[in-house]
Amino acid sequence: MAASLQEIQHRIDSTKSTRQITSAMQMVSTAKLSKIQRSGTGYRLYAQHLQDVVSHLAQAHLSNVKGTLLESREVKKVGFLIITSDRGLVGGYNSMLIKRVMSAFEERHLTKDDVVILAIGGNGADFFKKRGFNVAYEYRGVSDVPDFMEVRDIVKTVTAMYDNEVYDELELAYQHFASRISNEVQLEQILPIDTTNLETESGSLSAEYDMNPSADKVLETVLPQYAQSLVFGAILDAKTAEHSASVNAMSSASDNAKEVIDDLELHYNRARQAAITTEITEITGGMAALE
Amino acid sequence: MEETHNFEVAVVTPNGEVFNYPNATLTVIHTTDGELGIMANHNPLISALATSEMRIQDKANDYEERLAVNGGFAEFSSNKLTVVADAAEKAGEIDVNRAERARDRAERRLREAHNQREQQLAQAALVRAVTRIHAATGE
């Protein structure tokens, strides 16, 4: 009986230390989440400006899109830029996303030969490599609060590959941070740039602009910048979602640990009582034998 | 109606608004086409920028600020100039030593470049570094 008591005590201790770790990780992720949310506001201002100008330019110059990122060409290969996490411990964050991407392949009847995978984050890269997909680009180790300088090379490579016709359409797949308790898988086309669904609510750009040096030249500068900002925005969003997924996974892990501990403590007390009862029976039995 | 002689200047990057000055009288930007001075009540304008230095002046308050801007574009409307670039730094905040190291590195890469793409990348890095040094030291 004593051995079993010790065993239970041992399990309680180890579960307790696990809970300590998971709740510490939860706190770390919460801190990262609020940090990245703060930096996200700065980015949104930038993105809004870009979007305003792009939608304005697009409305005025839709006729002349040849050779720009607006021009759609015959789609031979579809690029999928998939943003996953490097680490685990984020619940269903990666698996949900990958599942959604796989079903998108099916819906569009894309085979392995039709798609080019660009993976940001180790989880997605490993998954698609293992299944024999063409992983043309892979990046690991995006920092917890990415800044634009860090991801600029990723973004430039991705747009350069489009220019070199490695793929003719680029889809972006990532977990969008919807709220602190839920994420949504997003799949959106970023290249060629689709201006039809640009929000034109901002009435700030109604004026007739002088274009310098020329409208085409401006378009040539602004469009790549816009595409880059979209990719950066997605990375930022995905990271936010990752931190929030991590918070949730860790908080439910801590809750589960608490349940396990409560359960074990009940067992421990029962075993202890049983041990005491046995001891008393033995003592009284011994006394009875003496009398 | 009295005409205003000053206008607002804002510089926006992916990391947020890095610069804002409400009372500029003159701003000089370098477009891909050459230098351009903007004063209050300029016609609405969108202009592509070179990786270059921009200068903001307020004559009334004897104020001048220089920024190193990494490409992007400028938009002027309703008496507000907004520069949207993927990076921008105020002259006073530029680490000259770092910029000089970046310049040396870029020069080395330019010499050792094997193909056109490498050459272009090195060239762009060199221009960025030189612009930052120039903005910071005024030389």
Residue A232 belongs to a domain = yes
Residue A13 belongs to a domain = no
pLDDT for the residue A68: 67
Other beta carbons less than 10 A from residue A26's beta carbon: 19
Query: In what helix (H) or strand (E) does residue A138 lie, and over which residues does it extend?
Result: strand A135-139
How far is the C-alpha of B86 from the C-alpha of B123, rounded, in Å?
18
In the CATH scheme, what is the code of domain B7-91? Answer: 2.60.15.10
Mean pLDDT by runs of 10 across the 291 residues of chain A is 76 92 91 86 83 75 62 80 83 84 84 84 86 83 80 81 84 84 81 66 57 76 83 87 88 92 92 92 91 79
Tally of structural domains, chain A: 1
pLDDT for the residue B1: 41
A232 in B contact zone (CB under 8 Å): yes
Residue A220 belongs to a domain = yes
- Inter-chain touch A46–B84, beta carbons under 8 Å: yes
Name the residue facing B44 among A50, A147, A210 (closest C-beta): A210
Name the residue facing A213 among B12, B43, B48 (closest C-beta): B48
Angle of the A122-130 helix axis to the A93-107 helix axis, nearest 10: 50
Angle of the A2-60 helix axis to the A215-290 helix axis, nearest 10: 170
Residue A148 belongs to a domain = yes
Residue A223 belongs to a domain = yes
Residues of chain A with Cβ-Cβ distance to B71 below 8 Å are: 221, 225
Distance of CA A178 to the CA centre of its chain: 12
Residue A267 belongs to a domain = no
pLDDT for the residue A195: 66
Q: Does B14 sit behind a cis peptide bond, omega within 30 degrees of 0 on the bond before it? A: no
Domain ranges of chain B: 7-91, 94-137
Distance of CA A24 to the CA centre of its chain: 21
Tracing tokens 């690029």 back to the chain, one arrives at: A79
B71 in A contact zone (CB under 8 Å): yes
Residue A222 belongs to a domain = yes
- Inter-chain touch B44–A49, beta carbons under 8 Å: no
| Amino acid at the residue B101 | R
Q: Does domain B94-137 have CATH number 1.20.5?
A: yes
A105 in B contact zone (CB under 8 Å): no
pLDDT for the residue A1: 45
pLDDT for the residue A3: 57
- Inter-chain touch A149–B87, beta carbons under 8 Å: yes
Nearest Cα of chain B lies from the Cα of A84 at a distance, in angstroms, of 22
Q: Phi/psi of residue B22, each to 5°?
A: -80, -20
pLDDT for the residue A66: 62
Q: Where are any strands of DSSP class E within B15-133?
A: 16-24, 26-31, 34-39, 45-48, 52-58, 63-69, 73-77, 80-84, 88-90
pLDDT for the residue A20: 93
How far is the C-alpha of B22 from the C-alpha of A189, rounded, in Å?
38
How far is the C-alpha of B131 from the C-alpha of B99, rounded, in Å?
9
How far is the C-alpha of A139 from the C-alpha of A82, rounded, in Å?
11
Q: Is the pLDDT of residue B136 over 50?
A: yes
Q: Phi/psi of residue B14, each to 5°?
A: -60, -20
Residue A173 belongs to a domain = yes
Q: Which domain holds residue A39?
A: 27-249
Nearest Cα of chain B lies from the Cα of A205 at a distance, in angstroms, of 8
**Chain segment B41-81, per-residue pLDDT in tens:** 888 888 888 888 888 888 888 888 888 888 888 888 888 88
**Exposed/middle/buried for residue A176 (C-beta within 10 Å: 0-12, 13-18, 19+):** middle
Query: Could you give the angle at the alpha carbon of A219 between the alpha carbons of A118 and B15, nearest 5°?
Result: 60
pLDDT for the residue B122: 81
Q: Mean pLDDT throughout B10-30?
A: 85
ipTM of the complex: 0.74
Q: Which parts of B31-95 fold into alpha helices (H)?
A: none
Q: Which CATH number goes with the domain that contains A46? A: 3.40.1380.10
A234 in B contact zone (CB under 8 Å): no
